């Protein structure tokens, strides 16, 4: 299936993407993740000001069938939440790379970016599945 | 028992339909084809086709068939005539259940087919054999494929394929022997979705022909995977072994008393099972909806407003028909009345919910 995997994003092995703008990181799930989950019907996100830790759960998305944890791509403080998703997660299904973004994190250390994948490596990960 | 994963006769059909396959109860099964919600909707509004060939079939024959089934199962099998089917339960000796089953009477007092859960088939067969009262018991699970045809237009499709039988004219829970393209088949007006329709048992070698004939019919049924099979039965609050019932659950607590006939017959462990009811049920299986945000899931604890545990969720999902979360739970009897406010512990947060009338949807 042709998933759009933008080259300017970072990726986690848990299928989140991270867009880095200086020390602000916007986080979402990849099109591959959305496809695997099926239609997402519920989202649980942290509050603004909450601390998150790289590779630790910061929320969940749920399809009809299953609950999936969301893992933070970097450590830091949540500065903005896409609260529209709480009422209506449809943009997470329709456009997970853009309108379906989840949170913005002020990152503690850009060194953690070294633990993330770039698009060629992420493409290989999902193609091997 | 082996560790190999079984494939139903329809495995290649599922692959050709690009289904997402998962292992379930030792079988490679389609969890979904195009999408759970679309499949669910197709079954509620049109026709869903389900490969249920993984289900087990155990045959009871001979003059002792009824006596054996009466001892093994809680419902009164002497009440069904040739061509009728009955839901029943297999009690164990510890107060719980070995399985829930459907008994099909092919010839009264002589020949019965028992349909059992795939995950329990070997356990059930061993249990039935060990507690047999002289019936000729055979595991026919490899002999039969099975396709469920469910939905408001399902009986019209079954009439088209089995025009000599006209299942649309039958009552629910009836069964007739027939053949399809030369293969032995049994057509039954049973199902697990809340819709009308049939479950068709067919010789394994003929299952693909039957599936293709159904799929190619102008009524255009939609294949439905295990994902929607689960949401369909949850909306009806039908019990699923491993969720609402298991080897520890009392069937009266599970609201299955209608399938237990202690006044008319004896069965395994009757005294202990009935005693739980006679002493007053301490907990009951109820349906609930969420007042605050959250989706209940199996294993989530039910609490009161003070945060004390009063029950456990057995099934939960986002209902595709209602487009809202629904759950099934055991709760202490004091909290089981419709309208009772309860709290679901969702990842450590107490989320408000309310006990509601079931089934969740009116059929």
Task: Output the pLDDT for position B66.
Answer: 98
Residue B1's pLDDT is what? 47
Cβ within 8 Å, pair B295-A38: no
pLDDT at residue B191 is higher than 80: yes
Q: What is the mean pLDDT of residues B106-131?
A: 98
Residues of B in contact with A44 (CB under 8 A): 294, 347
Q: What is the tens place of the pLDDT at every residue in A86-99? A: 999 999 999 999 99
* Inter-chain residue contact B347 with A42, CB threshold 8 Å: no
| Prediction ipTM score | 0.87
Q: What is the mean pLDDT of chain B?
A: 97
Contacting A residues, span 54-113, partner chain B, CB-CB under 8 Å: 60, 62-65, 67, 86
With beta carbons under 8 A apart, name residues in chain B contacting A67.
Answer: 295, 297
Helix ranges, A1-129 (H): 31-37, 84-87, 90-94, 119-127
Average pLDDT over every residue of B284-301: 98
**Nearest residue, CB atoms, B318 vs list A42, A44, A86:** A42
**CB spacing of A62 vs B295 below 8 angstroms:** yes
pLDDT-wise least confident of B2-6, B182-186, B280-284: B2-6
B325 inside 8 A of chain A by CB: yes
- B195 Cα to chain A: minimum distance (Å): 20
Nearest chain A alpha carbon to B317: A64
CB-closest option in B36, B293, B347 to A65: B36
Query: For residue B139, what pLDDT is reported?
Result: 98
Contact A67 B295 (CB under 8 A): yes
Look at B347 and A38 and tell me if their CB atoms are within 8 Å.
no
A87 phi/psi in degrees, rounded to 5: -85, -40
The reported pLDDT for the residue numbered A83 is 96
Q: Determine the pLDDT at residue B4.
A: 77
Q: Is the pLDDT of residue B3 over 80?
A: no
Q: What is the pLDDT of residue A1?
A: 58
pLDDT in tens, chain A (129 residues): 589 999 999 999 999 999 999 999 999 999 999 999 989 999 999 999 999 999 999 999 999 989 999 999 999 999 999 999 999 999 999 999 999 999 999 999 999 999 999 999 999 999 876
Tens digit of each residue's pLDDT (9 = 90 or more) over B345-359: 999 999 999 999 999
The reply to whether residue A64 touches residue B294, judged by beta carbons under 8 angstroms, is: no
* Mean pLDDT along residues B36-64: 98
């Amino acid at each position: 299936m042709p998933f759009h995997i933008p080259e300017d994003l970072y990726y986690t092995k848990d299928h989140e993407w991270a867009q880095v703008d200086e020390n602000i990181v916007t986080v979402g799930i990849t099109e591959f993740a959305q496809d695997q989950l099926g239609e997402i019907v519920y989202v649980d996100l942290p509050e603004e000001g909450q601390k998150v830790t790289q590779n630790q759960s910061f929320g969940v998305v749920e399809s009809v069938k299953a609950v999936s944890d969301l893992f933070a791509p970097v450590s830091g403080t949540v500065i903005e939440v896409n609260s529209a998703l709480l009422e209506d997660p449809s943009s997470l299904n329709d456009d997970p790379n853009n309108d379906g973004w989840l949170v913005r994190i002020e990152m503690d250390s850009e060194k953690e970016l070294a633990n993330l994948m770039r698009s060629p490596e992420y493409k290989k990960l999902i193609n091997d599945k | 028992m082996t560790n190999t994963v079984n494939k139903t006769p329809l495995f290649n059909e599922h692959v050709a339909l690009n289904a997402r396959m998962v292992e379930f109860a030792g079988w490679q099964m389609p969890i979904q084809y195009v999408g759970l919600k679309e499949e669910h909707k197709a079954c509620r509004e049109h026709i869903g086709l389900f490969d249920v060939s993984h289900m087990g079939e155990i045959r009871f024959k001979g003059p002792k068939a009824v006596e054996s089934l009466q001892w093994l199962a809680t419902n009164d099998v002497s009440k069904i005539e040739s061509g009728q089917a009955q839901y029943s339960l297999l009690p164990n000796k510890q107060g719980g259940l070995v399985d829930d089953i459907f008994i099909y009477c092919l010839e009264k007092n002589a020949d019965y087919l028992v349909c059992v859960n795939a995950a329990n088939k070997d356990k059930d067969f061993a249990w039935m054999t060990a507690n047999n009262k002289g019936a000729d018991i055979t595991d026919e699970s490899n002999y039969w494929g099975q396709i469920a045809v469910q939905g408001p237009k399902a009986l019209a499709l079954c009439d088209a394929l089995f025009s000599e039988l006209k299942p649309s004219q039958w009552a629910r829970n009836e069964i007739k022997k027939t053949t399809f393209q030369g293969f032995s088949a049994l057509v039954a007006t049973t199902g697990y979705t809340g819709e009308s329709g049939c479950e068709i048992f067919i010789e394994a070698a003929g299952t693909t022909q039957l599936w293709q004939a159904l799929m190619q019919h102008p009524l255009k049924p939609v294949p439905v995977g295990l994902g929607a099979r689960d949401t369909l039965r949850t909306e009806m609050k039908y019990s699923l072994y491993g969720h609402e019932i298991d080897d520890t659950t009392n069937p009266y607590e599970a609201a299955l008393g209608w399938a237990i006939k202690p006044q008319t017959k004896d069965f395994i462990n009757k005294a202990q099972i009935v005693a739980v009811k006679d002493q007053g049920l301490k907990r009951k299986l109820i349906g609930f909806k969420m007042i605050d945000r959250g989706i209940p899931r199996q294993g989530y604890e039910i609490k009161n407003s003070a945060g004390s545990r009063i029950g456990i969720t057995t099934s939960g999902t986002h209902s595709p028909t209602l487009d809202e979360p629904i759950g099934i739970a055991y709760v202490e009897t004091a909290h089981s009345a419709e309208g009772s406010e309860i709290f679901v512990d969702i990842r450590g947060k107490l989320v408000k919910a309310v006990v509601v009338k079931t089934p969740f949807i009116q059929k």
